[in-house]
Amino acid sequence: METDLGILSIVPPALAIVLAFLTRNAVYSLAVACLVGVLIAGQGPLGYSQLMIDAIGNTSFSWVFMLEICIGIMIAFFMRTGAIQAFTQFVAYRKLSRKGVQLWTWLLGMFVFFSDYFSPLFVGTTMRSLADKARISREKLAYIADSTSAPVIVLLPFTGWAIYISGLTIGMGPIADAGDALNAFIHSIPYNIYAITAVILVGLIAAGLVPEFGPMKKAERRAMDEGKVLRDGAVPLIGRELTETPMFPDIKPRLFLNFILPVILIIIIVLGSFVLTGSAKTLEAYLAVVIFLGVSIRIQGIRLNDIMDTAMTGIKGIMPAIMILVFAYTINQLSRDMGTADYMVSISRDFLTPSMLPLATYLLAAVMAFSTGTSWGTFAIMLPIAVPVALVYSGDALTDIVYATIAAVAGGGVFGDHCSPLSDTSILASTGAASDHIDHVRTQIPYAMIAAVLTGVVYLVMGLTVWS
């Protein structure tokens, strides 16, 4: 049940974020924050279980849960068949440098542009063994995978993000139908400064043109000097079951059959379904490949019991990521129930002046998405408020200030989604890279802040000059 608790509504997400950085334990931090939120809402400790039921008892969580399960099983199959090892050896023959591995990771992330869930999982899983061999920290691998998912996808007019964002603007002023909405989205792309900057920045870092600094520099020094891709005491979101699994003793490594072909099938199904239906069928693709691999491994002579044991190993190995997702969804549900987003909007209305509209909407969207861990929820709240205001200032015409406002909401949402420890896509990036989740967030935030501050400066300058 939704209630309006005012400033108290921001306590649980803020507490979760602070505890996550202090303790470096995401599950503990989220669990404590949810308990505090339940008590603030006056539901008592017994309301905790109902909150979790409301949060994860829906198709959205079920979809992500099943996707994670399929990912875990697929990775276990890859490891047990020697596919990952064979791929590493194959690429090693090309003698890729450390910089080369980073650039290939960046390019692969931009190539897999059709799903923000598929991209970080695929990129991290595919490049992890190569990155380990090149002594690239798991934190940096997660950063590259994360920065080439949502920031890339939100810049393309033929993705699910574009359809969703543009769809939210239909019926606003001169935006009469889906065609008008998509046209407005396309015009907004050049104004999405955050996404553009984030993608370029990670490419420059991968190429070695921008040096590491802050926590990332420390992580990279550790990896290069000590060979430790994870810090001592780190808790990667994939268990050792999926990173140290031995091969089946009686199977011959077949790179094409057990790795390249499954990857091609995933891409064909996801990309094909997107082209044909406008919706990338990511879960269906992974489920199909898990079935394909199971049948293929059986044909290669592995006993059915061993195949099932491998599948269970995969599920066990992915459980750390699932635990964080459970509590991330729970605190997101709590934020909705407590009216966190509505409170943020209510205190910002006085700042929505014509010259400062894009900057104000960008900052509010960024804070909202970071606090709640959901960019799409931020879009759904902010666009119906900000775009009509922009249309009033533009005389009900589609002008630059309208396009910039759409882009500001999109960019702010992506920033929050990109950096929040509560974000499911950040969790998936940590999962694919087998990184400690809080380490990933801590090392990524300084780079994201560069893009965020630059974006704010651009909107401020344009507000004072172009839209004043």
- DSSP for 148-168, please give it: TSHHHHTT-TTSHHHHHHHHT
pLDDT at 308: 94
Higher pLDDT, 103 or 116: 103
Cα gap 415→374, rounded to integer Å: 10
Name the least confident of 92-96, 216-220, 441-445, 462-466.
92-96
Cα gap 167→220, rounded to integer Å: 42
Q: Does pLDDT of 1 surpass 60?
A: no
- Three-state SS string over the chain comes to CCCCCHHHHHHHHHHHHHHHHHHCCHHHHHHHHHHHHHHHCCCCCCHHHHHHHHHHCCHHHHHHHHHHHHHHHHHHHHHHCCHHHHHHHHHHCCCCCHHHHHHHHHHHHHHCCCCCCHHHHHHHHHHHHHHHHCCCCHHHHHHHHHHCCHHHHCCCCCCHHHHHHHHCCCCCCCCCCHHHHHHHHHHHHHHCHHHHHHHHHHHHHHCCCCCCCHHHHHHHHHHHHHCCCCCCCCCECCCHHHCCCCCCCCCCCCHHHHHHHHHHHHHHHHHHHHHHHCCCCHHHHHHHHHHHHHHHHHHCCCCHHHHHHHHHHHHHHHHHHHHHHHHHHHHHHHHHHHCHHHHHHHCCHHHCCCCCHHHHHHHHHHHHHHHHCCHHHHHHHHHHHHHHHHHHHCCCCCCHHHHHHHHHHHHHHHHHHHHCCCCHHHHHHHHHHCCEHHHHHHHHHHHHHHHHHHHHHHHHHHHHHCCC
CA atoms 250, 252, 257, 259: torsion sign: positive
Q: Does pLDDT of 370 surpass 60?
A: yes
Residue 224 contacts by C-beta under 8 Å, 6 or more apart in sequence?
Answer: 135
Task: Give how many domains the chain has, as a whole number.
Answer: 1
Token pair belonging to 22: 């202090």
Q: Does pLDDT of 24 surpass 70?
A: no
Higher pLDDT, 178 or 201: 201
Query: Which residue segment(s) compose the domain that 458 sits in?
Result: 59-465
pLDDT at 326: 83
At residue 416 the predicted structure's pLDDT band, cuts being 50, 70 and 90, is: confident
pLDDT at 93: 63
Cα gap 176→462, rounded to integer Å: 28
Q: What's the predicted TM-score (pTM) here? A: 0.75
326 found inside a domain: yes
pLDDT at 125: 80
- Three-state SS string over 374-407 comes to CHHHHHHHHHHHHHHHHHHHCCCCCCHHHHHHHH
Q: Does pLDDT of 186 surpass 70?
A: yes
At residue 460 the predicted structure's pLDDT band, cuts being 50, 70 and 90, is: very high
Cα gap 101→106, rounded to integer Å: 9
pLDDT at 2: 56
Q: Does pLDDT of 342 surpass 60?
A: yes
Higher pLDDT, 412 or 10: 412
Q: Does pLDDT of 372 surpass 80?
A: no
DSSP-based three-state secondary structure for 438: helix
Cα gap 232→70, rounded to integer Å: 29
Residue 5 contacts by C-beta under 8 Å, 6 or more apart in sequence?
Answer: 40, 41, 338, 339, 343
- Three-state SS string over 76-125 comes to HHHHHCCHHHHHHHHHHCCCCCHHHHHHHHHHHHHHCCCCCCHHHHHHHH
pLDDT at 56: 86
22 found inside a domain: no
Find the mean pLDDT for residues 327-348. 76
Find the mean pLDDT for residues 402-430. 88
DSSP-based three-state secondary structure for 5: coil
18 found inside a domain: no
2 found inside a domain: no
Find the mean pLDDT for residues 190-216. 94
Match 């959205």 to its residue by tokens. Answer: 60
Q: Does pLDDT of 201 surpass 90?
A: yes
Find the mean pLDDT for residues 338-352. 70
The 10 Å Cβ neighbour count of residue 57 is: 12
pLDDT at 320: 74
Do residues 419 and 445 lie in contact, with contact meaning Cβ atoms separated by under 8 Å?
A: yes
Give first-to-last CA distance, the chain, whole Å. 42
Cα gap 277→193, rounded to integer Å: 30
For the chain, give the longest Cα–Cα distance: 72
Do residues 204 and 409 lie in contact, with contact meaning Cβ atoms separated by under 8 Å?
A: no
Higher pLDDT, 225 or 336: 225
pLDDT at 143: 95
Token pair belonging to 373: 């861990």
38 found inside a domain: no
253 found inside a domain: yes
280 found inside a domain: yes
pLDDT tens track for 254-302: 888 888 898 888 878 877 887 788 766 878 888 999 999 999 999 998 9
Name the least confident of 17-21, 123-127, 133-137, 193-197.
17-21
pLDDT at 173: 82
pLDDT at 240: 63
